[in-house]
Structure 1
Amino acid sequence: MILLALICVLLLGGFAAWFSERWSPMVPRWVAIISLTAEAQLIVLQYSSAEHAEGMSSVWFADFYAPWIPRFGIGFHLAMDGLSLLLIVLAVLLGFMAVSSSWTEIRDRQGFFFFNLLSCLAGTVGVFLAVDLFLFFFFWELMIIPMYFLISIWGHENRTYAAIKFFIFTQVSSLLMLLAIVALVLIHHNNGGTYSFDYFELLNTALDPDVAFWLMLGFFIAFTVKLPTVPFHTWLPDAHTQAPTGGSVILAGVMLKTGAYGLLRFVIPLFPEAAHQFAPVAMTLGVVSVLYAAMMAFAQSDLKRLIAYTSVSHMGFILLGIFSWNLLALQGSVITMLAHGISASALFMIAGALQERLHTREMGNMGGLWFALPRLSALALFFAVASLGLPGLGNFIGEFLVLQGAFSVNMSLTAVTTLVLILAPVYALIVMQKTFYGPLSQHSPLSDVSRREWASLGLLVLMTAWLGLSPQTVLNVSAPALKQEMQNFVVMER
């Protein structure tokens, strides 16, 4: 029941935040904080009681099932393993950050804003827990609609264009996944005589190689659009640039990870032979994303747009690691998901804080801010070097493990990927030079980091350093789930 509560608490908290605005505009933000606190307590309770769970293997330490549409083999089936646990923890942590960064930025319709924010988080938690493919698709759609409203209502000058583009890209790709899901279920019915959308039953479906390839491609496109990777990435810079800061935090830190999760959980285990044949293409797309997005970051004058392109570059590392499909690379992909979620969210929070103070995102209109905002500038420097992969911080661990794992699979692609180790410091230094050094462009007094901002960003500093200095805890939690996925791959391939 705790798994169900993890979704319901966020949904009910969203409705409570929406309706609480009638008493005071200040109430919804506190309702959101209370809902996320309850969510965090549920996660701690679930993890502490994991050893007492029954009915699942040691890999899946929590399970909830209720019949939904039994005629078509659809059930409300949720399950949690180490991978989903880590990503849900990330979602809740960044939920707090999104509320914090929206504290003074959002002034209109705050109740509806926090309803959409919590609904989007509920959808992502559902995506990480659902092991029924119909239920997974339901939550996949659930998280898209609130994000559309977050961008289109509270976004910036071109918010309508960005929101519609985001919606079209994600909906068209989701349709491909839905068609692939339905086709997979029909094939399973023809083989065994029963309908089932359950992940564990569909793992054993015998497929014609040509059919498996096209079904795999339907899933792959849907997940790589959300990841995103080149050439399906063009919606992301627009969405990030126009989204409010809280929306950018959830989009970069949580929603992009649902694409990586889908690749890891569904694409390769369900279609092992097709994924194995397609791996060189997928890895090449990952390398192209890493380098292309890093070079595109050079050309950006908008700070949020530059950070968005760095996100595309980091997602390329994750794609490379997943399709390398060995434990080192998979562990690296998981660490990169977490580390990028933290560092990119922090950078978007800093960009939002600068825009709130300066009323601009253009780096050409900034400069000399180190002297006016020394504490905010120091935090920006920390997360800039974290993003470029400074040893001792979380991003370095993830990228190092991905490169080490990928090297044993494809040395040439791995060698080309390492060029980003030159490109990333360059665009990071460009941001610092244009924004925080040089002559001071703003002569009006500017307020430095508030206590709220200091607490939020300081927590992300600690988490980034902890991931870099002590990643073994995370590796231990994710290892059983990743090993199980690899075993499923080996069994299906045979």
Structure 2
Amino acid sequence: MSSVPWLTILGLIPLVGALLVAFVPGSAENAKRMALGFSLVALVVGIAAATQFDRGGSTQFQLGEQHSWIPQLGVSYSLGVDGIALVLILMALVLTPICLLAAWRDVPEEAGPGGAQRTKTYFALLLVLETFMVGVFAATDVFLFYVFFEAMLIPVYFLIGRFGGARRQYAAMKFLLFSLAGGLIMLVAVIALYLQGPGGTDGFLIERLTGLSLDPTTERLLFVGFFFAFAVKAPMVPFHTWLPDAATESTPATATLLVGVLDKVGTFGMIRFCLQLFPEASEWATPVVVALAVISVVYGALLAIGQTDMMRLVSYTSVSHFGFIVLGIFAFTNVGHAGSSLYMVNHGFSTAALFLFAAMLVRRRGSKRIPDFGGWQRVTPALAGIFLVAGLSGLGLPGLASFVSEFTVLVGSFPTQPVAAVISTAGIILAALYILLMYKRVMTGPKPEGLVGTREHARLDEPARRGLTAVRDLTTREKLVAAPLIAAFVVLGFLPNLALNVINPAVDQTLSHVQKAIPNLNPAGTVAEGSSK
């Protein structure tokens, strides 16, 4: 156990910030600055905690703490991280201040104290969401994980339903119903798992529920209960339909955290719970799961190509990318697992950039429809440049972060799932289509009528300016939003070992549990000769 409760501190900082932002009197601008300040403090503390993490440690979870919470029910307040959880928490801590900065003008200013309170509530909810994101990745008690898993629905529901677009109520309710359906089924599985375990005052701890001797039918039913909730959250086809509506009707900051971080809870849960707690059932379900993953890769990409709404297009690209992540997880190889874990991080940054940069365009044009654009690189060249870089990262251009993830997933999947890996390569080709076609339709072509850049507008004389609208290129705040995201693409593209060196020991630990239950998997994670797989 750690002598400093790093993970509790990480969760409390944004929560305290949310309370102060929401209830301390003051202007909306001061509340925004306060929210940004607390998120930056959390990031600094997170980096400090990461320096205490020993990637060569012998235990699965580090920076841990454990306290009895509801001993009569076997529930503990138990936190800890392995390398996979650590990098996902750091990703969430980095993306939160970026989203807060990007959200500076998300809530229209209204006169009177009610207008200021509306802005305060919005920023406070984003901070509350950060607390729950830290908690869900750090929980090492299955019941505590479930509490955070469900608690995340509350701020997201209000962020969509109160601050979203015209169809926000529909999108928020659809998100809630899908998530509750998955969560309730998982709750039944959580309780049943406890009854199968050793019980006691700390009977929900992951370490006490790992390696149980379960009846095959029971194990498979428990696996299905957990997997269904994670497949909805991920989201995988056919449980994905809530995502495009929720992301399109959300504010850009909400959509970024929803798709960039919260959806990773689904794939993270598959690694932490499905594979570790139910290894034999995971092997049993692999053919179906891999088939759904391949369908998600191809189907999500095809749907993205056909979209005319820019935000909806980005949403469908995530359905395709999550297919790659699930494929790598259920390949049961070290390389595939490491690639999937890295993909979760890289996808978070790439999707954040696509959502936030697209929102900058939408704010200037007043429309999300791709046909309403065209020629904007002549009006906002800097914004066009960063939008192109984000798109190239999303399609997996070598040298940018996503390439390493996709390549590693496919290489790691081929030994055990060769057909699925080959078919999934179509997703890379389709990704080039939906990204480059979107860029062409939005950015290239003749200059839009009546629009000029502010610099060109300033050079024109008064008669020439008549009938023209000046459109500003990137503001200082927008440059501050873009800089860390593009830096992440480049750094993780050229130096992926910064993350992989932390992830790999956790991958080995997870697959060691699988190997104990499935002896036909050799230590490298590939299938040994004579396997039925």
* Fold shared, TM-score > 0.5 on shorter chain: yes
Decide which moves more: 99-108 or 261-270: 99-108
- Candidates 19, 26, 29, aligned match of 2:29: 26
Q: Residue 467 of structure 1 aligns with which residue?
A: 492
Task: Kindly indicate whether the alpha-carbon contact (under 8 Å) linking 1:105 and 1:356 is maintained by their aligned counterparts in 2.
Answer: no
Q: Residue 172 of structure 2 aligns with which residue?
A: 163
Q: CA RMSD in A?
A: 1.6
Tell me which amino acid in the other structure corresponds to 2:23.
F
CA distance in 1, matches of 2:207, 2:502: 21
Tell me which amino acid in the other structure corresponds to 1:256.
D
Task: Kindly indicate whether the alpha-carbon contact (under 8 Å) linking 1:78 and 1:131 is maintained by their aligned counterparts in 2.
Answer: yes
* 1:67-466 pair list within 5 angstroms: 67-107=68-108, 108=115, 109-189=118-198, 196-441=203-448, 443=450, 444-466=469-491
Task: Kindly indicate whether the alpha-carbon contact (under 8 Å) linking 2:55 and 2:505 is maintained by their aligned counterparts in 1.
Answer: no
Give TM-score scaled by structure 1 length.
0.96
Per the TM alignment, residue 51 of structure 1 is displaced from its structure 2 partner at its CA by 4.9
Instruction: Tell me, yes or no, if structure 1 residue 66 matches structure 2 residue 67.
Output: yes
1:260-281 Cα deviation digits (max 9, x unpaired)? 1101111111000000111111
1:126-171 Cα deviation digits (max 9, x unpaired)? 0100010111011111111101111111101111100000000001
Q: Between Structure 1 and Structure 2, which shows a larger proportion of helix residues?
A: 1
Q: Residue 490 of structure 1 aligns with which residue?
A: 515
SS state of the match for residue 76, structure 1? Answer: strand
Residues 176 and 37 from structure 1, CA distance in 2 versus in 1: closer, same or farther, beyond 3 angstroms? Answer: same
Tell me which amino acid in the other structure corresponds to 1:453.
E
SS state of the match for residue 473, structure 1? Answer: helix
Tell me which amino acid in the other structure corresponds to 1:13.
G
Task: Kindly indicate whether the alpha-carbon contact (under 8 Å) linking 1:347 and 1:380 is maintained by their aligned counterparts in 2.
Answer: yes
Task: Kindly indicate whether the alpha-carbon contact (under 8 Å) linking 1:188 and 1:194 is maintained by their aligned counterparts in 2.
Answer: no
Task: Kindly indicate whether the alpha-carbon contact (under 8 Å) linking 1:188 and 1:195 is maintained by their aligned counterparts in 2.
Answer: no
Q: Residue 530 of structure 2 aligns with which residue?
A: none
Residue segments in structure 2 that go unaligned for 5+ positions in a row = 109-114, 451-468, 520-533
Per the TM alignment, residue 105 of structure 1 is displaced from its structure 2 partner at its CA by 2.1
Task: Kindly indicate whether the alpha-carbon contact (under 8 Å) linking 1:97 and 1:249 is maintained by their aligned counterparts in 2.
Answer: no
Residues 150 and 183 from structure 1, CA distance in 2 versus in 1: closer, same or farther, beyond 3 angstroms? Answer: same
- Candidates 12, 18, 37, aligned match of 1:14: 18
Task: Kindly indicate whether the alpha-carbon contact (under 8 Å) linking 1:17 and 1:32 is maintained by their aligned counterparts in 2.
Answer: yes
1:231-285 Cα deviation digits (max 9, x unpaired)? 0000000011000011011012111111111011111110000001111111111
CA distance in 2, matches of 1:241, 1:64: 39
CA distance in 2, matches of 1:454, 1:51: 35
User: How many residues matched?
Assistant: 489
Tell me which amino acid in the other structure corresponds to 2:132.
G
Tell me which amino acid in the other structure corresponds to 2:151.
L
Residues 52 and 458 from structure 1, CA distance in 2 versus in 1: closer, same or farther, beyond 3 angstroms? Answer: closer
- Candidates 29, 35, 39, aligned match of 1:36: 39
CA distance in 1, matches of 2:119, 2:200: 51
CA distance in 1, matches of 2:127, 2:241: 26
Per the TM alignment, residue 4 of structure 1 is displaced from its structure 2 partner at its CA by 0.8
Task: Kindly indicate whether the alpha-carbon contact (under 8 Å) linking 1:225 and 1:259 is maintained by their aligned counterparts in 2.
Answer: yes
CA distance in 2, matches of 1:333, 1:420: 15
User: Which segments of structure 1 move beyond 6 Å, counting only runs of 4 or more?
Assistant: 192-195
Higher gyration radius (CA) = 2
Residue segments in structure 1 that go unaligned for 5+ positions in a row = none
CA distance in 1, matches of 2:423, 2:53: 42
Tell me which amino acid in the other structure corresponds to 1:40.
L
CA distance in 2, matches of 1:4, 1:353: 35
Per the TM alignment, residue 61 of structure 1 is displaced from its structure 2 partner at its CA by 2.4
- Candidates 49, 53, 59, aligned match of 1:50: 53
Residues 194 and 48 from structure 1, CA distance in 2 versus in 1: closer, same or farther, beyond 3 angstroms? Answer: closer
CA distance in 1, matches of 2:332, 2:14: 34
Tell me which amino acid in the other structure corresponds to 2:9.
A
Residues 370 and 77 from structure 1, CA distance in 2 versus in 1: closer, same or farther, beyond 3 angstroms? Answer: same
CA distance in 2, matches of 1:282, 1:194: 35
Per the TM alignment, residue 438 of structure 1 is displaced from its structure 2 partner at its CA by 1.6
Task: Kindly indicate whether the alpha-carbon contact (under 8 Å) linking 2:68 and 2:201 is maintained by their aligned counterparts in 1.
Answer: no
Q: Residue 462 of structure 2 aligns with which residue?
A: none
Residues 69 and 231 from structure 1, CA distance in 2 versus in 1: closer, same or farther, beyond 3 angstroms? Answer: same
1:304-354 Cα deviation digits (max 9, x unpaired)? 000000011001000000001211001110111111110111110012111
Residues 293 and 51 from structure 1, CA distance in 2 versus in 1: closer, same or farther, beyond 3 angstroms? Answer: closer
CA distance in 1, matches of 2:154, 2:447: 41
Task: Kindly indicate whether the alpha-carbon contact (under 8 Å) linking 1:29 and 1:103 is maintained by their aligned counterparts in 2.
Answer: yes
Task: Kindly indicate whether the alpha-carbon contact (under 8 Å) linking 1:185 and 1:195 is maintained by their aligned counterparts in 2.
Answer: no
CA distance in 2, matches of 1:98, 1:488: 37
Per the TM alignment, residue 48 of structure 1 is displaced from its structure 2 partner at its CA by 2.4
Percent identity, please: 36
Per the TM alignment, residue 52 of structure 1 is displaced from its structure 2 partner at its CA by 12
Per the TM alignment, residue 121 of structure 1 is displaced from its structure 2 partner at its CA by 1.4
CA distance in 2, matches of 1:51, 1:234: 40
Residues 154 and 272 from structure 1, CA distance in 2 versus in 1: closer, same or farther, beyond 3 angstroms? Answer: same
